[in-house]
Amino acid sequence: MLALALPGGVALWMFLAFVAATLVITYFSARKSSGSSAYFAAGRRITGWQNGLAVAGDYMSAASFLGIAGMIATNGYDGFMYSVGFLVAYLTVLLVVAEPLRNAGKYTMADILAYRLSPRPVRAMASLSTLTVSIFYMIAQMVGAGTLVRQLIPGVSYEVAVVGVGILMVIYVVFGGMLATTWVQIIKAVLLMSGSFLLSALVMAKFDFDAGKFFASLTAIQSTATDGTTVTRNFLTPGLLFKEPWDQVSLGMALVFGTAGLPHILIRFYTVPDAKTARASVVWAMILIGLFYIMTTFFGFGAASLLGPDHIAAHGGTNMAAPELSRILGGEIFFAFISAVAFATILAVVAGLTISASTSFAHDFFSNVLLHGKEHRPGAEVRVARITAFVVGALAIVIAILLGPKVNVAFLVGLAFAVAASANLPVIVLSIFWKRFNTAGAVAGLAAGLVSSIALIAVSPDFMASPLFPLKNPAIASIPIGFAAAVIATLLGPREPMAESTFAELQVRGNTGLGAEKASAH
């Protein structure tokens, strides 16, 4: 009974309740997940609002909930800039990629590239960039999970927490496939939305639900500077965190153009029956994601006003601002609930990332590159995906433990977005809209975007004392590099009559849904 009395005890029970519920779902999904379409795309029978919730669940990661709340709580307005970019990014998804992708693809982002171009080199490169994005993103989430669980449950070390999260995500993906992963996302999205709403309501209750009073309290936030003096800042003023305007522009580019290249978001559109449902699911996701990021105003600025940056620094640091706020406002039980929500958030996102990485490896690399698209034994593709999920999970666990709890996870997420924006988006856009686009262009675009974004991060201020590249996020340079490489290599490379003649076919497919993959019967 002692365990129940401790804050970690309540949190632990809530963790266990979430884990138990998701494992039950995995058990039932596992019985339905035979065959590639069922395993990789949940039989394409997810409805619009379900997929909308799942997209929102896949997207609102620990970086959103804990990271943005913490950034707003300690630096005010500039943190809110992230919230804006994360939502506006969905317009790129909705207007440019979602419907053609659903109509012309099967399981992965590479399907739409391989449709017109030479499949093996294109799929090999696309698979490499998918794995890179997924693994960077995943490690960031796992480091976050390890740090969180260690602080919430006394006696659990960082390593044990990372291994625990790793094992759970592998179980969801290996046994339950896309169907179980989708339901984990849906439950998590509902929990996260209700938790954020309760937390926001509690904050506003402190200000008698008077918005004027709430914003007025933000104009004089006191904190202790590094030299020990007390400074008073207006948290609604821009420029407290970002000193260099180009940094904000570059970050904005990574967010707005990167989301449409995130493999774990893109593969969600294959789980719905048709492009119309894909469109509806983006709109559902935008409503939920927008409401969530508007609520970061209340619990992010609320933490700044009610706790203050010094209190946050003394109680677990910036990433714990939201859970700490819930403890002060709602007591230990609410704290446990919010912590369990944060844990569910991380677990769901890593599961989504694992399935996107393993789907890409099995479908793109194994089936279509190694086996030339011939499936020798039925079920081999799903078997390979399951093995890949194990390997990717183990790899993420090992790297997360080697990096340790101290690593700054925000740059890993920023890197994932920058790689997605620079490598994936240019080739997706060009293959949909440019008739002349060819294999050389796709391979060059993917490679140049991937290499330039990683190289520019390696020489950025986060990694070098005297940086060669002045900005924290490489997107402003690496996105044009990705596009330029794709265009130049296309023009230098040989014309591909096949790619050009199938352009009309892709246009018909992309715009009418004719010949698109159907939902499985039953």
Looking only at residues 225 through 254 of this chain, which bind other proteins when binding is defined by CB under 8 A? 234, 236-239, 242, 244-246, 248-249, 251-252
Touching other proteins, residues 323-362 (CB under 8 A): none
- The smaller minimum CB distance to other proteins, of residues 251 and 342, is found at 251
What is the rounded end-to-end Cα distance, in angstroms, of the chain? 48
C-alpha span between 50 and 489 (Å, rounded): 41
In the Cβ-directed half-sphere of 174, how many Cα atoms lie within 13 Å? 15
Among 197, 215, 390, 434, binds other proteins (CB under 8 A): 215
Shortest separation between residue 422's beta carbon and other proteins, angstroms: 17
- The smaller minimum CB distance to other proteins, of residues 154 and 238, is found at 238
Q: Is 276 in the site for other proteins (CB under 8 A)?
A: yes
Residue whose C-alpha is closest to residue 122's, from 365, 450, 380:
365
> Which residue stretch of 14-22, 82-90, 307-315, 410-418 sits at the interface with other proteins (rule: CB under 8 A)?
82-90
Shortest separation between residue 43's beta carbon and other proteins, angstroms: 16
Shortest separation between residue 120's beta carbon and other proteins, angstroms: 7
Shortest separation between residue 435's beta carbon and other proteins, angstroms: 11
Among 206, 279, 311, 436, binds other proteins (CB under 8 A): 279
Touching other proteins, residues 94-133 (CB under 8 A): 94-96, 104-106, 111, 114-120
Site pattern 475..514 for other proteins (x: CB under 8 A): ---------------------xxx-xxx-xx-xx--xxxx
Q: Is 386 in the site for other proteins (CB under 8 A)?
A: no
| Environment class of 145 (CB within 10 Å of its CB; exposed 0-12, middle 13-18, buried 19+) | buried
Q: Is 77 in the site for other proteins (CB under 8 A)?
A: yes
> Which residue stretch of 49-57, 75-83, 182-190, 327-335 sits at the interface with other proteins (rule: CB under 8 A)?
75-83
Question: Which residue do the tokens 């240019």 mark?
Answer: 426
Q: Is 31 in the site for other proteins (CB under 8 A)?
A: no
The one-letter code for the residue type at 452 is S
Residue whose C-alpha is closest to residue 278's, from 92, 47, 433:
47
Could you tell me how many residues of this chain bind other proteins (CB under 8 A)?
79
Helix axes 380-403, 321-359, angle to 10 degrees: 140
C-alpha span between 112 and 123 (Å, rounded): 10
C-alpha span between 158 and 405 (Å, rounded): 7
CA 297 to chain centre: 21
Q: What is the DSSP string of 314-352?
A: HTT-GGGHHHHHHHHHHHHHHHHHHHHHHHHHHHHHHHH
Among 359, 381, 423, 437, binds other proteins (CB under 8 A): 381
Q: Is 387 in the site for other proteins (CB under 8 A)?
A: no
